[in-house]
Amino acid sequence: MQLSKSRIMSALQCRKRLYFEVHRPELQKISPATQAAFDTGNRVGDFAQQIYGQGQGILIEYGPGLSQALKDTERLMTAGVDEPIFEATFSHGGVLVRLDVLIPPGPHTQSPAWKIVEVKASTKLKDEHVADCAIQAWVFEGLGYALGGIALAHIDKAYAYPGGEDYHGLLVEEDLTAEVAELQDSVPAWVGMARESASGEMPDVQVGQHCTTPHLCPFFEQCWPTETKYPVQALRGSKEKLGQLVADGYLDIRDVPTTVLDGTETRSRIHRVTVAEEAELLEGASSFVQELAFPRYYLDFETIMPPVPIWSGTHPYETHAVQWSCHIEDSDGSLRHEEFLDLSGEPPMRPLAESLIGMLGHDGPILMYTNYEATVIRGLADRFPDLAPELEAILDRLVDLHPVVKENYYHPDMLGSWSLKAVLPTIAADIDYSALEEIQEGTAASKGYLEAIDSSTSPERREQLRTRLLEYCRLDTEAMVRLVRFLGARPSPTSGPALSR
Ligand code: SF4
């Protein structure tokens, strides 16, 4: 059986994961965040080809098939090319690898041997990168080629984009030659383990920390309980401990006896409320709301964090606010809505900050959910020192609803999460993110914005995205209004909303 490098990496995370990939690929579920990470990796890979190739590199196409890619690679290696080869393809010992960048001997490497560069979109070296490179080196050297060095090229967070499509400096290399050499003797064992996992019976692996580390396993739902109403993983805490509960046969929170519930106060509370099957709303919530003055501003930002900077003077993965929505509530209960979204493709941060300052006025609490909005506003103040006094005045008015909700409210259907999207269905079932078209969560919003400002996007599609982005962000602030109204309703002494069964 031919194993790709990525399959061996899957087996190193979990043998059962590889078994599923080979035998039941239709069961995998790719989360939006995982898909976004793939897309980011591909995008950074494309930039790496520009940076290393400088218009000269040779790409081994995969379209014509594996055997053609292997032949094309061998032909170039034998011919003694001077240019870097991208996606050079090799097979040895039943293991297939495609190398991001292969630099030929000569002036580029200052060595009589080849150099491999693995490209990653992360901002630092991680343990799994060394194993990844070790597999590549094992295949390459196993074919008899001389390897002069192997490096990981990752994003340099300190890089500032000068503009003009000049991305030199975006990637920084870390030499892994010595670390990879140390692992060479381990690779055959990895290959053997992966081959056995893929070809034998389904490995008996207990769930645990490895289900989310180093990556969220796409078969998570196959192994963790999902059929039950309140799966134990909603108890939160380390996946190791939760995995032990599953191994001990506890699938639903209601089955877990208090005696085995070793954990934090939060975990005990989730357990207590879930077992009671009755939501808990404490009086502190309504006291908090009654003290909020009017007008009340409900603010939410949408942001992007592009790995490859778009605007000059910006850095990789820098957070840029690109959109805001605000509902404004007066003491008579009336609501107004304001919003900002600029899809011109020009840097929107300055007009966004100015419009925000103008809209928020000088008085009234500004409600947010988690302190992300504060981080964004601080970032704007750093970027535009002339606006800093007004932005800092806004910071003084921010009120975070998240800790209030966490302290005073829990509903079993929240499944251990106090995110707005977990809380909302339990208090306002009529607000339904899944009814929104295309953009239903933050990752999709970020992707939608980037597509909308791309010059290749048609005007019709841009307008469609504008509508969807505005609807999504507006729903976030409308949700906060509903949340505060819910919290402000004075609760009965012990309980909140009745549960639907
Ligand atoms: S969910 Fe966990 S145990 Fe199941 S295949 Fe994935 S990593 Fe392995």
Residue 109: per-residue pLDDT: 64
Type of residue numbered 103: I
For ligand 1, whether the C-beta of 242 sits within 6 Å is no
Rounded CA Rg of the chain? 27
CA of 222 to the centre of ligand 1 (A): 8
CA distance 247 to 245: 5
| Alpha helices (runs of H) in 369-458, residue ranges in sequence order | 372-383, 388-397, 401-408, 420-427, 442-453
For ligand 1, whether the C-beta of 205 sits within 6 Å is yes
Closest CA to 136 of 204, 84, 90, 93: 90
Query: CB neighbours of 419 closer than 8 A, spacing ≥ 6?
Result: none
pLDDT above 60 (res 453): yes
- The pair of structure tokens assigned to 498 is 């009745």
Residue 494: per-residue pLDDT: 46
**3-197 topology per CATH:** Lambda Exonuclease; Chain A (3.90.320)
Residue 501: per-residue pLDDT: 27
pLDDT above 70 (res 234): yes
CA distance 449 to 59: 30
CA distance 317 to 309: 7
Residue 55: per-residue pLDDT: 80
pLDDT band of 232, cuts 50, 70, 90: very high
Taking only the tens place, the pLDDT of each residue in 34-67 is 999 999 999 999 999 999 998 889 999 988 899 9
Q: Give the rounded distance of the alpha carbon of 467 from its chain centre.
A: 24
Q: Which of 14, 22, 224 to probe ligand 1 with, by most ligand atoms within 8 A of CB?
A: 14
Ligand 1: atom nearest CA of 221 is: 1
Residue 56: per-residue pLDDT: 87
Please state, rounded to an integer, the average pLDDT across all residues of the chain.
94
Residues 294/308, Cβ–Cβ less than 8 Å: no
Query: CB neighbours of 439 closer than 8 A, spacing ≥ 6?
Result: 445, 448, 465, 468, 469, 471, 472
Q: Give the rounded distance of the alpha carbon of 222 from its chain centre.
A: 21
Residue 490: per-residue pLDDT: 63
Closest CA to 168 of 52, 20, 291, 260: 52
- The percentage of residues in the chain with a pLDDT greater than 90, rounded to a whole number, is 88
For ligand 1, whether the C-beta of 19 sits within 6 Å is no
How many other CB atoms are there within 10 angstroms of residue 500's CB atom? 7
CA of 226 to the centre of ligand 1 (A): 14
CA distance 215 to 132: 14
Residues 500/426, Cβ–Cβ less than 8 Å: no
For ligand 1, whether the C-beta of 15 sits within 6 Å is no
Nearest CA to ligand 1 atom 3: 207
For ligand 1, whether the C-beta of 44 sits within 6 Å is no
By 3-state DSSP, what share of the chain in percent is helix, strand and coil, each rounded to 5? Answer: 50, 15, 35
Residue 80: per-residue pLDDT: 84
Mean pLDDT value of segment 427-431: 92
Type of residue numbered 208: G
**284-488 topology per CATH:** Nucleotidyltransferase; domain 5 (3.30.420)
Mean pLDDT value of segment 462-468: 98
Taking only the tens place, the pLDDT of each residue in 71-121 is 999 999 999 888 999 999 999 999 999 999 999 997 666 677 999 999 999
Taking only the tens place, the pLDDT of each residue in 319-332 is 999 999 999 999 99
For ligand 1, whether the C-beta of 220 sits within 6 Å is yes
pLDDT above 90 (res 124): yes
pLDDT above 80 (res 467): yes
pLDDT above 80 (res 310): yes
Q: Phi-psi category of 490—alpha, beta or left, where left has phi over 0 and alpha has psi -120 to 50?
A: beta
Residues 102/151, Cβ–Cβ less than 8 Å: no
Q: What are the domain boundaries of the chain? A: 3-197, 224-276, 284-488
Give the SS3 label for residue 210: helix
Residue 405: per-residue pLDDT: 97
Pairing of strands 58-59, 335-341: unpaired
- The percentage of residues in the chain with a pLDDT greater than 70, rounded to a whole number, is 97
Q: Which of 207, 213, 240 to probe ligand 1 with, by most ligand atoms within 8 A of CB?
A: 207
Residue 41: per-residue pLDDT: 94
Mean pLDDT value of segment 305-317: 96
Nearest CA to ligand 1 atom 5: 17
Ligand 1: atom nearest CA of 13 is: 7
Q: Which of 30, 128, 223, 226 to probe ligand 1 with, by most ligand atoms within 8 A of CB?
A: 223
Ligand 1: atom nearest CA of 15 is: 8
Residue 145: per-residue pLDDT: 95
Altogether, the residues listed in the chain come to a count of 501
Taking only the tens place, the pLDDT of each residue in 338-392 is 999 999 999 999 999 999 999 999 999 999 999 999 999 999 999 999 999 999 9
Nearest CA to ligand 1 atom 1: 220
How many other CB atoms are there within 10 angstroms of residue 482's CB atom? 18
pLDDT above 70 (res 492): no
CA distance 466 to 176: 45
Closest CA to 299 of 322, 328, 320, 319: 328
Nearest CA to ligand 1 atom 2: 211
pLDDT above 90 (res 500): no
- The pair of structure tokens assigned to 284 is 């502190």
Ligand 1: atom nearest CA of 224 is: 1
CA of 16 to the centre of ligand 1 (A): 6
Query: CB neighbours of 230 closer than 8 A, spacing ≥ 6?
Result: 252, 253, 254, 274, 412, 415
Within this chain, domains 3-197 and 284-488 share the same CATH topology: no
pLDDT above 70 (res 225): yes
> 53-57, 292-296, 335-339: which has the minimum mean pLDDT?
53-57
Taking only the tens place, the pLDDT of each residue in 256-288 is 999 888 778 899 999 999 999 999 999 999 999
| Alpha helices (runs of H) in 409-493, residue ranges in sequence order | 420-427, 442-453, 459-488
For ligand 1, whether the C-beta of 320 sits within 6 Å is no
